[in-house]
Amino acid sequence: MRARSASAPKFLNLSQVRFPVGAIASIGHRVSGVLLLVSLPLLALALDRSLRSKSEFDALRDLVSEPWRALLLVILVWAAAHHVLAGVRHLLMDIGVGSRLSQARTSAWAAILAAGIIALAAAVRWLS
Amino acid sequence: MRVSIYRFNPETDAKPRMQDYDVAPEAGDKKLLDVLMRLKTMDDSLSFRRSCREGVCGSDAMNINGRNGLACLTSLPGLKEPVVLRPLPGFPVIRDLIVDMTQFFAHYHSIKPYLINNEEPPERERLQSPAEREKLNGLYECILCACCSAFCPSFWWNPDKFIGPAGLLQAYRFISDSRDTATAARLAYLDDVYRLYRCRSIMNCTEVCPKGLSPSHAIERIRLALVRESS
Amino acid sequence: MRLFLGQRAWVLQRVTALMLLILLALGAATLLTGPSRSYESWHALATSTHGAVLIVVFFAALCLHGWIGVRDIVLDYIHAPTLRLPLLALIAVILFAIFIRVVLTMAAHFAGGA
């Protein structure tokens, strides 16, 4: 029995599984969390720089003048927006608000779309 | 109709493959299981579990077009072709669509799926008020088909340690039972980073439950009960 | 010893999430209603007692929240104990170092500003 299970194949090809919208919102929550965590040292650095002098503060405000930096910021804006919105959704569902399947589907769609729109707005503002 | 099925024979195959079948459903064929039974008469090497053919025994759970469900409850009209059938994701495959449920049932047993009450038994049965009985609705109907646990990413990553939605739904069924006196011990057992807290409220379980139950809701209630217990 | 907590980590993740939400809302409100977004007003805010304390609290909550989140990711995907424990230790050290760095930053500017 044990030997058979050890050598037995498993079907677990994620590209062949049809994920519900809640799963998309959830993996987005995880990916955005990792992005935010990776940028945490930069945030701590920015805090330090912003307090040093007026010129350093202004340099930070001009970060978006370089396209690749602006692009990174747009990605971080998406990450922050998605993580906060999906996080609020989870907090509410934890206490039983909107945790019925139909409501959870709607709020998952809402979080994904709203975060996308916020990121798009940032992209329009900084990249065009 | 065209059906594409995951085939694996441990005696002859080194790895699984997909096999296409063309089959003409006949007038009486209403559900996917009817087509599978027809295929079985064409190719008797095709292996799958089935018994009651009406969504009560939970034997014919499988991955149908990317989502878990029971073949006997999946209606033929509306099924996208080719119908792709694979075994339950994340479970060891014994043969074709038959998976090894040993671990799944080990988790079920671990939550002590029976009433625990060491008080002196009454002369007749232990009575419940209608309100107390009402609390078991949505919990006792589970048929242990494993559609939910086999669609849960957290269960895919930690199938040996996470109890999974099916087991946790059953755990809550006994936590909610007014006749059970082991609530505190049951909750203490679940307060574990793996057993309960691998759940990230993805709700894939509730999405695919063929009985329309909500394991995610049961998990939500267990977590709140644990918070109440410790405060 | 139980190395990985169940309920306590779950509750802490949510408590820190709430703290972060409140502080973010506070920050956004200050940004929108404040007199100007100049260096002078930011510096005055960040080096005031309540501003500095709130920034330190914000980063503390951020590091704790991030720790629980990344711990869950490691528990899900990385199973080899020889990889898992050093990785968790490394992440914990980095997060703690970031927090200390923020405390030092605030202390330096607070002293300078006061």
Distance from CA of C67 to the nearest CA of B (A): 14
Over residues A67-109, the pLDDT tens digits come to: 999 999 999 999 999 999 999 999 999 999 999 999 999 999 9
Q: Residue B165: list chain A partners with CB under 8 A.
A: none
Please report the number of interchain residue pairs, chain A to chain B, with beta-carbon separation below 8 angstroms.
Answer: 88
Put simply, the answer to whether A40 touches C66 (Cβ < 8 Å) is: yes
What integer best gives the mean pLDDT of chain A? 93
Identify the band that residue A6 occupies on the pLDDT scale cut at 50, 70 and 90.
low
Average pLDDT over residues A31-46: 97
User: d(Cα A58, Cα A125) in Å, to the nearest integer?
Assistant: 18
Domain that holds residue C62: 7-113
Q: What is the DSSP letter of B70?
A: E
Q: Coil, helix or strand for B21?
A: strand
Q: Could you tell me which of B55, B67, B63, B60 has the C-alpha nearest to residue B204? A: B67
Identify the band that residue C1 occupies on the pLDDT scale cut at 50, 70 and 90.
very low
Q: Does A26 touch chain C (CB under 8 A)?
A: no
**pLDDT value of residue B204:** 98
Q: How many CA atoms lie within 13 A of B156 on its CB side?
A: 20
**pLDDT value of residue A102:** 98
User: Which of B154, B191, B196 is opposite residue C76, by nearest beta carbon?
Assistant: B154
Put simply, the answer to whether B193 touches C9 (Cβ < 8 Å) is: yes
Identify the band that residue B152 occupies on the pLDDT scale cut at 50, 70 and 90.
very high
User: d(Cα B66, Cα B83) in Å, to the nearest integer?
Assistant: 10
**pLDDT value of residue C15:** 97
**pLDDT value of residue C114:** 46
Q: Residue A88: list chain C partners with CB under 8 A.
A: 21
Domain positions in chain B are: 2-99, 102-230
User: d(Cα B115, Cα B172) in Å, to the nearest integer?
Assistant: 12
Domain-located, residue A57: yes
Over residues B111-135, the pLDDT tens digits come to: 999 999 999 999 999 999 999 999 9
Identify the band that residue A7 occupies on the pLDDT scale cut at 50, 70 and 90.
confident
Average pLDDT over residues A1-8: 60
User: d(Cα A26, Cα A38) in Å, to the nearest integer?
Assistant: 19
**pLDDT value of residue C111:** 64
Domain-located, residue A73: yes
Other C-beta atoms within 10 Å of B96: how many?
Answer: 22
Q: Does A97 touch chain C (CB under 8 A)?
A: no
Q: Which residue of B has its CA nearest to C10?
A: B197
Q: Could you tell me which of B40, B37, B107 has the C-alpha nearest to residue B76? A: B37
Quote the number of domains for chain C: 1
Domain-located, residue C49: yes
Residue in the block written with tokens 């170092």: C97
**pLDDT value of residue B230:** 84
Domain-located, residue A1: no
Looking at the predicted structure, is the pLDDT value of residue B159 above 50?
yes
Query: In CATH, what class is B2-99?
Result: alpha beta
Domain that holds residue A53: 20-127
The domain that contains A119 carries what CATH number? 1.20.1300.10
> In this structure, which topology does domain B102-230 adopt according to CATH?
Fumarate Reductase Iron-sulfur Protein; Chain B, domain 2 (1.10.1060)
Structure token digits, residue B92: 């060891």
Quote the number of domains for chain A: 1
The domain that contains C81 carries what CATH number? 1.20.1300.10
Sign of CA dihedral A18, B56, B6, A4: positive
Put simply, the answer to whether B202 touches A9 (Cβ < 8 Å) is: no
Looking at the predicted structure, is the pLDDT value of residue B153 above 80?
yes
ipTM for this model: 0.91
